[in-house]
Amino acid sequence: MVLDLGDSRAHQAAPGRPGAGLLYERVVAYVEELIAERALAPGDRLPTYAELAESTGVSLITVRRALDEMERAGKVRRHQGLGTFLARPRIVTEPARAGSLLGTLRNDETGPSADSIETRIVEMRRGLPSPDVASALRIGPDAPVWLLRRQRLIDGQPAVVETSIIPVTLAPDLDRLVTRLGRSLYDLLAGECGLEDAYEEQYLEVVVTPAREERRLLGIAPRTPVVRIRGLSMDSSGVPFDCFEQLYRATEFAFAISGRTSRQLLPTPGVQDWDVRALPEVPQLAGRQSP
C-alpha cells in the first residue's frame, strides 16, 4: 500500500461527504466521471496534474497518488513529457496455447486487430547457451544457438519483448530465413525446418527489475512491474527447440491459463542464467610468405 505522506489531507474524508474515504479517491472518482461525461476513448489525453488538482481541490501529490492507483489498475497510461492518457482495456492472452505469441492473443472484439500489431527485430546473433539454457534444450555447453529478440508494438506502443533461443543444428539458416520473417516465427520454423510446436512448458512471474535494455524496449520506467514468462517449446517427438522469454507490460495484459499435467522439464523460477554468451573469437592465421 502506498502512503501519501506529503499531503496531510489525504487521509481525511472529502468535504460534504462524511466517511467518503481518502482524498485520492476523490480524484479517481472525478477522473472516472470525466471519462464518462466526455465519452473519452483509449488514447485520449486526460487533464494535467495541475488541472486535476485545481478541479478537485487537492494537492499535486494527491493527484499523483490517484494516477498511480489508476495506472496500476490498468486504467491510464502516463508518458513522460506528454501527459496521462486513457488506457485501452487489458488484452487477454492465453500463453498456454501452443504456437506463436500472436496466436495466443484472444481474437475477439476485445483483442487487438492484426493490423494494429507490429513486430520489430532488435537483435539476431549466434552464441553459446548458459548452463541453464543448455540443460533445458538438452544440448552441450559448446553447442551454438541463435538468439532472436523481437519487440511487439500494439497501436504503435511497446507492449511485449520476446526472446527466442534456438539450437543452430535445428535451424542452421535461421539468420538468413529471419529476413523473410512475417508475423510468426513458429510458422517459419515449421515450414523451413520441420519444427512444429506440439508441447510447451512455461513459468509466469511478476518482476520489477528488468534490465535497462528491456525497460527501453518496453518503454517503462525503473521499478515498473512486468510479467515475465519463460518457457520451452518441443516438437511432436519431444525434442526441445525454443527456449523463450516473453516480457509483458503488466498493466496492459490479463492472462487466461488452463491447467494440464506438466513433465517438469524446466527448473523452477529463480536465479537461472537465461542468456547467450558470445562465441569465442577464432584466432587468425598469420599470412605465409612465398618461398
What gap in Å lies between CA 106 and CA 103, rounded to an integer?
A: 8
Write down all domains in the chain, each with its CATH number in brackets: 8-86 (1.10.10.10), 91-262 (3.40.1410.10)
What pLDDT sits at residue 22? 83
Sequence-ordered strand ranges (E) for 15-156? 76-79, 83-86, 91-93, 117-129, 145-154
What pLDDT sits at residue 3? 30
What gap in Å lies between CA 32 and CA 265, rounded to an integer?
A: 46
> Cα-flanking dihedrals φ and ψ of residue 229, to 5°?
-115, 125
What pLDDT sits at residue 75? 85
What pLDDT sits at residue 282? 66
Percent of the chain with pLDDT over 70: 77
Could you give the 3-state DSSP secondary structure of residue 164? strand
Contact (CB, 8 A) for 66 and 31: yes
Map 192-255 to HEC letters: HHCCCCCEEEEEEEEECCCCHHHHHHHCCCCCCCEEEEEEEEECCCCCEEEEEEEEEEHHHEEE
What pLDDT sits at residue 9? 40
Which residues of the chain are under the pLDDT cut of 70? 1-21, 96-114, 182-183, 258-271, 282-291
- Residue 41's H or E segment, with its range, is none
What pLDDT sits at residue 113? 64
What pLDDT sits at residue 49? 94
Contact (CB, 8 A) for 12 and 21: no
What gap in Å lies between CA 291 and CA 276, rounded to an integer?
A: 44
Exposure letters 265-291 (e unless 16+ CB within 10 A, then b): bbeeeeebebebeeeeeeeeeeeeeee
Largest CA distance in the chain: 102
What pLDDT sits at residue 194? 93
What pLDDT sits at residue 271? 59
What pLDDT sits at residue 184? 83
